[in-house]
Structure 1
Amino acid sequence: MVSAADRAKGPARTSVWLDVKSGRDRDRGRGRKSGQPAGLDRDKIIEATVRLLDSEGAAKFSMRRLAAELNVTAMSVYWYVDTKDDLLELALDAVFGTLPLPDLSTETDWRDQLRELATGYRALLVRHPWVSALIGTFLNIGPHSMAFSLAVQQVMRNTGLPPHGQMGGLSAVFQFVYGFGTIEGHFIQRCATAGMSQDEYFRQAMGTISEQPEFRESFANASELMEARGGDTVEDMRERDFGFALELLVAGIEAMVARA
């Protein structure tokens, strides 16, 4: 546990991962000191943090709320993490550890590996809607996040894109997935909050918009596009959209490789 006086002595930290004392094993291999609660460790704290973030969102998360979930005092948590931001970073990296990564030692086609990574990343953003905001807030350089990043970079190298184009290709695919997964996750969360299914929420919204005079003509013109989109449910439409968009990006990479 770091005191306020100790923090004031050093430069401001930008990430828990840049502090060697804040590694995952900081509290392991040492005897429990007076004041430290029995049966509590950093992993349990991180697991509880993820559960709370999933169920209540980042806006309602606090160290006091976490302590209540763990049935300990708030000060007990600070034996294992120095700040709330540190804990959010640790939780962010923990969920990245659930991402399946392709076996890069095999001769699997890069297209399949890219699809696997993109699909997994989308699922992560949908399963944990709080993740999208934290990715933009923190450096996201924990071991699990870096493993995902390195896998993505290796797959992009395997595409045959020239070095100067690989980061652009990576951005095209994963910024798209980030945006798609973020909106999808927030929409699902909004439907749950409203106590409605996704289809009910969508029908209500579209019905209301179609009745507005200023939108009626535009909505009618878009009806053909919506019908061509296909799918009986919101989930069906979303799967078609994501799959087609991802294939467009794969085809774009192939075209750029052929042009190089």
Structure 2
Amino acid sequence: MSAAQPQTRPTPPAAPAHGSALTRPRRKERQPALSRAQIVAAAVRLLDAEGIEELSMRKLGTGMGAAATSLYRHVAGKDELIQLVLDEVYGELEVPGAASAAEWRDAVSRGGHDLRAMVLRHPWVASVIGRVGPARLGPNLTRVSDRMLALFRTGGFPADEAELAMRAVISYVVGATTGEAAHLSLLARGGQSEQEWLEGMRPAARRSLAEHSASEGRDPKKLREENFDYGLQRVLDGLETRLSRG
């Protein structure tokens, strides 16, 4: 009889190098990659929703799920961010062209209405537009300024007056729209429409408003547009008079 072979026990499986799944340290989640375009788009959304007072690099980063320090890799700081978002919304504008001197006024008028519409979509624009000097104009601001300036040159303004005429129109548009945008923002925060606001006024105040502006029964939005256009046309009347005097 042969000698009994010694029994061998099965080798237990080796323990994981890092312990169990419960004790293994978790891998840090990578933050999503950011780009300047994403940061600017998120900043525009924040500004539209909450206004310029609420803009900060920290709050913007939190909303994007990123640390503020990661934003600074793409944007130097809040001042540069304001320049970038302003240039971004100016990209929404399309300045009409004018083939002859006879067309300059209509083209400028349409451009003025387009600028007003943009400011009403982004009410914070009026409060930051003066912060960007000529040396810091982005590509969209430069494009809009150049095309507007070309309209005044086509209309017959000499080189030393064309920019002054352009600034006069833009100053009117921004100035007139600032109060309008503030009024609409106030109503939006209160959850009211313009019509509800008018109906909620005291009867005496409503009658007084109607007597002074012939606004009773009128669409408030249409009335605002007409009021704006009246002022814009009077500015253009003055500029046309200047042209006729040579």
Asked if TM exceeds 0.5, the reply is yes
- 1:70-106 Cα shifts (integer Å, max 9, x gaps): 11111111111121211121111111111112246x4
Relative distance call for 1:97 and 1:204 in structure 2 (3 A) is same
Give the secondary-structure state (helix, strand or coil) at the position aligned to 1:109: helix
Per-residue deviation, 1:37:
5.0
Contact kept, 8 Å, 2:95 with 2:148, in 1: the verdict is: no
* Pair 1:117 & 2:111 matched: yes
Greater gyration radius: 2
Relative distance call for 1:209 and 1:157 in structure 2 (3 A) is farther
Give the secondary-structure state (helix, strand or coil) at the position aligned to 1:98: coil
- 1:169-218 Cα shifts (integer Å, max 9, x gaps): 2233211101111111111111001111112224445x38739xxxxxxx
Q: Return the alpha-carbon distance in structure 2 between the equivalents of residues 124 and 210 of structure 1.
A: 31
Per-residue deviation, 1:151:
1.3
Bigger mean CA offset, 164-173 vs 139-148: 164-173
For 1:170, the equivalent position in structure 2 comes to: 166
For 1:166, the aligned partner's letter is: A
Q: Return the alpha-carbon distance in structure 2 between the equivalents of residues 95 and 80 of structure 1.
A: 19
Per-residue deviation, 1:245:
2.0
> Which of 221, 236, 244 is the equivalent residue of 1:250?
236
Q: Sequence identity, in percent?
A: 31
Contact kept, 8 Å, 1:230 with 1:237, in 2: the verdict is: no
Relative distance call for 1:230 and 1:177 in structure 2 (3 A) is farther
For 1:232, the equivalent position in structure 2 comes to: 218
Relative distance call for 1:82 and 1:239 in structure 2 (3 A) is same
For 2:130, the aligned partner's letter is: G
Q: Return the alpha-carbon distance in structure 1 between the equivalents of residues 175 and 139 of structure 2.
A: 24
For 1:241, the equivalent position in structure 2 comes to: 227
For 2:205, the aligned partner's letter is: S
Q: Return the alpha-carbon distance in structure 2 between the equivalents of residues 257 and 85 of structure 1.
A: 39
Q: Return the alpha-carbon distance in structure 1 between the equivalents of residues 217 and 95 of structure 2.
A: 30
Bigger mean CA offset, 154-163 vs 62-71: 154-163
Per-residue deviation, 1:246:
2.0
Give the secondary-structure state (helix, strand or coil) at the position aligned to 1:80: coil
For 1:147, the equivalent position in structure 2 comes to: 143
Contact kept, 8 Å, 1:113 with 1:155, in 2: the verdict is: yes
Number of equivalent positions: 214
Relative distance call for 1:61 and 1:208 in structure 2 (3 A) is farther
For 1:128, the equivalent position in structure 2 comes to: 122
**CA RMSD in angstroms, aligned pairs only:** 2.5
Q: Return the alpha-carbon distance in structure 2 between the equivalents of residues 143 and 209 of structure 1.
A: 50
For 2:70, the equivalent position in structure 1 comes to: 76
* Pair 1:61 & 2:84 matched: no
Relative distance call for 1:210 and 1:160 in structure 2 (3 A) is same
Contact kept, 8 Å, 1:161 with 1:253, in 2: the verdict is: no
Contact kept, 8 Å, 1:62 with 1:84, in 2: the verdict is: yes
Q: Compute the TM-score of the two structures, normalised by the length of structure 1.
A: 0.73
- 1:24-74 Cα shifts (integer Å, max 9, x gaps): xxxxxxxxxxxx955311111111111111111111111121112211111
Contact kept, 8 Å, 1:37 with 1:76, in 2: the verdict is: no
> Which of 155, 160, 171 is the equivalent residue of 1:159?
155
Gaps (5+ residues) in structure 2? 1-29
For 2:212, the aligned partner's letter is: L
* Structure 1 stretches of at least 4 aligned residues deviating more than 6 Å after TM superposition: none
Per-residue deviation, 1:232:
0.8
> Which of 188, 196, 200 is the equivalent residue of 1:200?
196
For 1:100, the aligned partner's letter is: E
Per-residue deviation, 1:163:
4.1
Q: Return the alpha-carbon distance in structure 1 between the equivalents of residues 144 and 203 of structure 2.
A: 42
For 1:210, the aligned partner's letter is: A
Q: Is the helix fraction higher in 1 or 2?
A: 1
Q: Compute the TM-score of the two structures, normalised by the length of structure 2.
A: 0.77
For 1:64, the aligned partner's letter is: R
